[in-house]
């Protein structure tokens, strides 16, 4: 164990009764609440010896209890199907979870086991596979929901049950990883209840934000693969709502005067950075992705696709209605959006008069990451860093053909031959286009260098199976001076921005045997190859993940389905 900061262990849970608790799908406020140790005046407390000072990479409630013997098993069912909905008044055929958009909230307490059965009821020849964004999947890589790496797609008319431990806490989301499918509506929020670095009274729950296209996204994505620049988004949905010329409504949130409210912001979008601010109010930012941070106060935060911030809003202003404003990066760095200037939600104080807000406010623009400081300090040991070169090709025989390459290879996985299958077969050779990088050391260090011949677009880089440490980032070409990187409590999170034509230096502890995707979270880009996978501690994978019966059955069903229906995989598959 190379963590240089030693942390006290969470106590072993003294009880071992299993409470298999089936929760209703729209459950809100499911949280362990012992007001002696976690109250509006002591949000840093939690349970069983774990609290805000615990390093969740090392410990979590019930860590030392046998699987299934601690906490609850929280069970959900998600049905994937097509449905016509009109989130902002404009009707569109979507792909959705349980007939709703966004999908139902998945919530659990820190340390619980989560068990979600996903059933594919699509009729359009699409497989599916659901990824639980940011969840570490320690020792459960076959539950990561990444088709072509950790599973075959879930064939129509079949199901898969995902079971994993919530070793982290905070806010996240789940989404399909089958080509560009999530952008058709297959997204939903996740809340893992745990301690917080500042106090609040009321948890308002998730606030999910998605840039939205009226044209089916598979069509938009296919066109973007042959276009000179990013397509224009039609609008942005806030918790699945927005006003348009066809109707719709603003998302409304209620504030209690004098109280502090926790709001969980999530960018579940496609192509846009979001700047978020509430007129007349400050945010106290307490978490970035699944990482609790040293609280700081700001007028607004900016989120790349896949990123989250938990913020506290103090309702200390005159009773009234206020606009929550959402701005985009500004078009030059993230692509245009037809409604960029009009994206709003309403925040109303209890007792305020009915009606739309008249409040005023402004937001910054640009595509970059917030500067954050993790609350639980870590020191990263120094080590050799390797380059991953990101290049681009936009020329084609018949007009533009967009291709992204990592070290000259455009990622394209094979749905019916996932990386885990190679591990089961003991095969050493991977196709070049699987973009496999072997990782066997304790710590591993990478810098992604974008060249200057590509479009000036920043990329939100997301890693599965880990939080990574951001040792540095910058514009232009990195000078290669490893001593100038930051190893002392660097930013830690699961999604970070590679600046346009710049570089991003990352490190993570290779403590989780499995096949883990790292990719740009913009569907247009991963669709055209901007990804790679780390095959981590290959020799330890099969021993650490247990039974693969479901994995094998899933692949059998998909292969048969693909054969019977002549399915073509014509993008990266991710």
Ligand X SMILES: *[C@@H]1O[C@H](CO)[C@@H](O)[C@H](O)[C@H]1NC(C)=O
The minimum distance between CB 228 and ligand X, in angstroms, equals: 14
Return the structure tokens found at 302: 């900016």
Q: Using CB under 5 A, which residues numbered 364 to 393 contact Cu ion?
A: none
Picked from Cu ion, ligand X, none, the partner binding residue 316 (CB below 5 to 8 A depending on kind) is none
The minimum distance between CB 410 and ligand X, in angstroms, equals: 9
Residues 291 and 430: their CA atoms lie apart, in Å, by 34
3-class secondary structure per residue, 302-361: EECCCCEEEEEEECCCCCCEEEEEEEECCCCCCCCECCHHHCEEEEEECCCCCCCCCCCC
Picked from ligand X, Cu ion, none, the partner binding residue 459 (CB below 5 to 8 A depending on kind) is Cu ion
The minimum distance between CB 458 and Cu ion, in angstroms, equals: 8
DSSP H/E element including 461: strand 459-463
The residue range among 2-10, 65-73, 168-176, 523-531 that interacts with Cu ion, by the rule CB under 5 A, is: 523-531
Site string for Cu ion, 12-31 (x = CB under 5 A): --------------------
- Strands of 153-303 (E only): list them: 159-165, 170-176, 187-193, 202-212, 235-238, 243-244, 247-248, 252-255, 260-267, 274-278, 283-288, 291-298, 300-303
Site string for Cu ion, 257-286 (x = CB under 5 A): ------------------------------
Going by C-beta distance under 8 Å and a sequence separation of 6 or more, which residues neighbour residue 407?
388, 389
Decide: is 459 part of the binding site for Cu ion (CB under 5 A): yes
Which residue, 430 or 437, has its beta carbon nearer to ligand X? 437
Our measurement of the distance from residue 540's CA atom to the centroid of its chain's CA atoms, rounded to an integer in Å, reads 26
The residue range among 101-109, 285-293, 358-366, 525-533 that interacts with Cu ion, by the rule CB under 5 A, is: 525-533
When CB distances to ligand X are compared, the closest residue is 222
The minimum distance between CB 255 and ligand X, in angstroms, equals: 29
Which residue, 257 or 480, has its beta carbon nearer to ligand X? 480
DSSP H/E element including 151: none
Q: Are 425 and 541 in contact (CB under 8 A)?
A: no
**Number of amino acids touching Cu ion (CB under 5 A):** 4
Residue 111 DSSP one-character state = T
The minimum distance between CB 502 and ligand X, in angstroms, equals: 7
Decide: is 522 part of the binding site for Cu ion (CB under 5 A): yes
Picked from ligand X, Cu ion, none, the partner binding residue 567 (CB below 5 to 8 A depending on kind) is ligand X
How buried is 118 (Cβ within 10 angstroms: 0-12 exposed, 13-18 middle, 19+ buried)?
A: buried
- Scored b (16 or more CB within 10 A) or e, 336-361 reads bbebbeebbbbbbbeebeeeebebeb
Instruction: Tell me the chain's radius of gyration from C-alpha atoms.
Output: 22
The minimum distance between CB 32 and ligand X, in angstroms, equals: 9
Which residue, 209 or 285, has its beta carbon nearer to Cu ion? 209
The residue range among 111-119, 193-201, 406-414, 453-461 that interacts with Cu ion, by the rule CB under 5 A, is: 453-461
The minimum distance between CB 79 and ligand X, in angstroms, equals: 17
Select from 520, 532, 545, 557 the one that contacts Cu ion (CB under 5 A): 520
Picked from ligand X, Cu ion, none, the partner binding residue 397 (CB below 5 to 8 A depending on kind) is ligand X
The minimum distance between CB 319 and ligand X, in angstroms, equals: 35
Strand, helix or coil at 123? Answer: coil
Picked from ligand X, Cu ion, none, the partner binding residue 401 (CB below 5 to 8 A depending on kind) is ligand X
The minimum distance between CB 30 and ligand X, in angstroms, equals: 16
Site string for Cu ion, 144-183 (x = CB under 5 A): ----------------------------------------
Residues 73 and 163: their CA atoms lie apart, in Å, by 9
Decide: is 466 part of the binding site for Cu ion (CB under 5 A): no
How buried is 362 (Cβ within 10 angstroms: 0-12 exposed, 13-18 middle, 19+ buried)?
A: exposed
Which residue, 80 or 303, has its beta carbon nearer to Cu ion? 303
Residues 512 and 138: their CA atoms lie apart, in Å, by 6
Length of the chain: 574
Strand, helix or coil at 542? Answer: helix
The residue range among 145-153, 266-274, 365-373, 524-532 that interacts with Cu ion, by the rule CB under 5 A, is: 524-532
The minimum distance between CB 459 and Cu ion, in angstroms, equals: 3
Using DSSP bridges, classify how beta strands 202-212 and 235-238 pair: parallel, antiparallel or unpaired.
antiparallel
Residues 513 and 423: their CA atoms lie apart, in Å, by 11
Which parts of this chain interact with ligand X (CB under 6 A)?
A: 34, 36-37, 124-126, 216, 218, 221-222, 225, 386-387, 389, 393, 395-397, 401, 407, 437, 474-475, 499, 567-568, 570-571
The minimum distance between CB 368 and ligand X, in angstroms, equals: 7
248: left (phi over 0), alpha (psi -120 to 50) or beta: left
The minimum distance between CB 525 and Cu ion, in angstroms, equals: 3
Which residue, 227 or 567, has its beta carbon nearer to ligand X? 567
Picked from ligand X, Cu ion, none, the partner binding residue 243 (CB below 5 to 8 A depending on kind) is none
Picked from ligand X, Cu ion, none, the partner binding residue 386 (CB below 5 to 8 A depending on kind) is ligand X
Return the structure tokens found at 116: 């979600």
The minimum distance between CB 424 and ligand X, in angstroms, equals: 25
Which residue, 175 or 525, has its beta carbon nearer to Cu ion? 525
Residues 292 and 285: their CA atoms lie apart, in Å, by 9
User: Where on the chain is the footprint of Cu ion (CB under 5 A)?
Assistant: 459, 520, 522, 525
């Amino acid at each position: 164990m190379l963590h240089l900061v030693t942390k006290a262990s969470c106590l072993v849970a003294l009880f071992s009764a299993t409470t298999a608790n089936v929760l209703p799908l729209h459950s809100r406020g499911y949280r362990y609440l012992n007001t002696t140790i976690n109250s509006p005046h002591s949000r840093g407390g939690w349970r069983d010896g774990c609290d805000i000072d615990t390093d969740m990479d090392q410990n979590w409630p019930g860590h030392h209890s046998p699987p299934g013997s601690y906490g609850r098993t929280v069970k959900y069912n998600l049905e994937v199907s097509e449905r016509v909905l009109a989130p902002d008044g404009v009707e569109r055929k979507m792909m959705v979870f349980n007939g709703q958009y966004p999908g139902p909230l998945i919530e659990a307490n820190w340390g619980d086991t989560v068990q979600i059965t996903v059933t594919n009821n699509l009729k359009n020849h699409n497989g599916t596979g659901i990824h639980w964004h940011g969840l570490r999947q320690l020792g459960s890589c076959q539950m990561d929901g990444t088709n072509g790496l950790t599973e075959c797609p879930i064939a129509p008319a079949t199901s898969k049950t995902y079971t994993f431990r919530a070793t982290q806490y905070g806010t996240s989301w789940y989404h399909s990883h089958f080509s560009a499918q999530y952008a058709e509506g297959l997204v939903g929020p996740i809340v893992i209840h745990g301690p917080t670095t500042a106090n609040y009274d009321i948890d308002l729950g998730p606030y999910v934000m998605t840039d939205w296209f009226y044209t089916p996204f598979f069509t938009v994505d296919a066109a973007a693969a042959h276009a000179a620049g990013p397509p224009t988004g039609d609008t942005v949905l806030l918790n699945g709502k927005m006003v348009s010329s066809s109707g719709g409504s603003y998302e409304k949130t209620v504030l209690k005067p004098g109280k502090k409210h926790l709001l969980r912001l999530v960018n579940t979008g496609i192509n846009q950075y979001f700047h978020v601010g509430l007129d007349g109010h400050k945010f106290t930012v307490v978490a970035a992705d699944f990482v609790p941070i040293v609280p700081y106060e700001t007028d607004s935060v900016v989120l790349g696709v896949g990123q989250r911030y938990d913020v506290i809003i103090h309702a200390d202003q005159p009773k009234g209605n206020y606009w929550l404003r959402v701005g985009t990066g500004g078009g030059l760095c993230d692509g245009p959006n037809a409604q960029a200037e009009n994206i709003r939600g309403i925040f109303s104080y209890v007792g305020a008069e009915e009606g739309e807000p008249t409040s005023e406010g402004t937001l910054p623009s640009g595509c970059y990451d917030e500067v954050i400081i993790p609350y639980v300090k870590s020191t990263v040991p120094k080590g050799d860093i390797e380059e991953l070169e990101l290049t681009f090709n936009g020329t084609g025989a018949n007009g533009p053909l967009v291709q992204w390459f990592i070290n000259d290879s455009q990622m394209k996985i094979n749905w019916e031959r996932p990386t885990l299958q190679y591990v089961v077969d003991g095969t050493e050779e991977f196709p070049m286009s699987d973009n496999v990088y072997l990782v066997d050391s304790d710590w591993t260090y990478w810098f992604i260098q974008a060249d200057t011949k590509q479009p000036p677009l920043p990329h939100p880089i997301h890693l599965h199976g880990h939080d990574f440490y951001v040792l540095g980032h910058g514009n232009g070409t990195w000078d290669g001076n490893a001593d100038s990187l930051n190893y002392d409590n660097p930013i830690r999170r699961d999604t970070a921005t590679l600046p346009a034509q710049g570089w991003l230096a990352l490190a993570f502890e290779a403590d989780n045997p499995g096949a883990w995707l790292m990719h740009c979270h913009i569907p247009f880009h991963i669709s055209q190859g901007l990804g790679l996978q780390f095959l981590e501690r290959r020799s330890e994978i099969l021993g650490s993940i247990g039974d693969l019966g479901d994995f094998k059955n899933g692949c059998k069903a998909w292969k048969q389905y693909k054969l019977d229906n002549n399915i073509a995989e014509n993008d990266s598959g991710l």
